[in-house]
Amino acid sequence: MVDRARLRQHTVEVLTVLAVAACYYATARLGLLQQLVRGQVTPLWPPTGIAVAALLVFGVRIWPGIALGALAVNLLIGPSPLPVLFIAAGNTVAPICSYLMLRRAGFRNELDRLRDALALVFLGALAGMLISATVGTGALVVSGALPSEEFWQTWSVWWTGDAMGVMVVTPFLLAVRNARLPHTINPARWAEAAALGVCTAAVTVVATDTSASLLFLVSPFLIWAAFRFERAGAACCALGVSTLAILAAGRMTGPFAHHGLLTNMITLQAFIGTTALVSLLLAAVVAERNRTYREIKRLCAQLSEKVTRQDL
């Protein structure tokens, strides 16, 4: 019985590793559809979000899945086997370091505290992804696949793409995992959620399809999502808005028309970063406020009950 239980546990772990590798590879192929530098550097790299979320959920033992996915992707697009190994190693070590820093900071997967949101942004995304960008870009330069004068431009796109993946994809996956359907479905609540999704998508399409600078029009809908639907709503809206903005940048339409690569990258990454940061921090603040309100309400109820008993 013990051997059978161990075999079942090992089987589950192997399947989980393979599932992570498959998800990493699939999202990497999607991300490469919007490549901007040398066919492999994109403004949003979803696999980093997949990797950090998998580590937060399953623990560091899942790292072989990240390594397999990164190696499989880079073997198809990498310049030669040795640089590919370095790039895959950087793509594996960076999420692991992000995970270790987050756990060191006391990060909770529920993302219901402001400190959790700040830790994910500054430790998990901005700090951890310095490793993958530096190792990957350095490997391309050393191998001769990238001119040395293009190092910093490529490095900036690589770093922000990985960081945006963590800031946009990881909260979405954690929110989906922690989401629980209510026992009683309120039709008005579902109607509001549907209206939020339709309005957010429509406004984002309009803002990214007109030459006027209207990207700021998305902000009220992110605030709506955070206040009314907390983490789940904010994460879904941020992911949808970021995806539509990246597609518009790839088509070079709206605010991304008639500009060079560098200008479009600055505009796109500033927009995605602001969108993810505002929605994530605001949702965390709202969740923390609601949790504090519920705790105060519970304590008041307990106090009222004790006073009633004493009067009796």
Neighbour count for residue 144 (Cβ, 10 Å): 11
Residue-level pLDDT at 184: 63
Residue-level pLDDT at 78: 67
**pLDDT single digits (tens) 257-277:** 777 766 777 777 788 888 888
Q: What SS3 state is found at 185?
A: coil
Say if residue 223 is in the same domain as residue 162.
no
- Give pTM, 2 decimals: 0.84
Say if residue 4 is in the same domain as residue 114.
yes
**pLDDT single digits (tens) 77-98:** 767 788 889 999 999 999 999 9
pLDDT class of 40 with cuts at 50, 70, 90: low
Share of the chain above pLDDT 90, in %: 21
Q: Which whole number is the average pLDDT over 246-267?
A: 75
**Phi and psi, residue 37, nearest 5°:** -130, 120
Say if residue 168 is in the same domain as residue 21.
yes
Say if residue 26 is in the same domain as residue 162.
yes
Among 177, 205, 222, where does a domain finish?
177
**pLDDT single digits (tens) 152-190:** 878 888 888 888 889 889 988 988 887 666 666 678 888
Q: Greater confidence, 144 or 224?
A: 224
In the DSSP assignment, the letter for residue 257 is: T
Among 149, 177, 205, where does a domain finish?
177
Among 124, 149, 177, where does a domain finish?
177
Provide the sign of the torsion angle of the four alpha carbons 155, 160, 163, 169, taken in this order: negative
Count of structural domains, the chain: 2
- Residue 288's domain comprises 186-312
Q: Which whole number is the average pLDDT over 122-136?
A: 91
Q: Which whole number is the average pLDDT over 228-251?
A: 84
On the question of pLDDT at 37 being above 60, the answer is: no
Say if residue 101 is in the same domain as residue 20.
yes
Indicate which CATH number applies to the domain containing 94. 1.10.1760
Say if residue 268 is in the same domain as residue 158.
no
**pLDDT single digits (tens) 217-235:** 888 898 888 888 888 888 8
On the question of pLDDT at 309 being above 60, the answer is: yes
Q: Which residues contact 22 (CB under 8 A, 6 or more apart)?
A: 69
Say if residue 173 is in the same domain as residue 190.
no
Say if residue 148 is in the same domain as residue 234.
no
Say if residue 85 is in the same domain as residue 206.
no
Rounded Cα distance, 106 and 256, in Å: 39
pLDDT class of 1 with cuts at 50, 70, 90: low
- The per-residue pLDDT of the chain, averaged, comes to 84
Q: Is 172 left (phi over 0), alpha (psi -120 to 50) or beta?
A: alpha
**pLDDT single digits (tens) 48-82:** 999 999 999 999 999 999 999 999 888 877 677 88
**pLDDT single digits (tens) 276-297:** 888 888 888 888 888 888 888 8
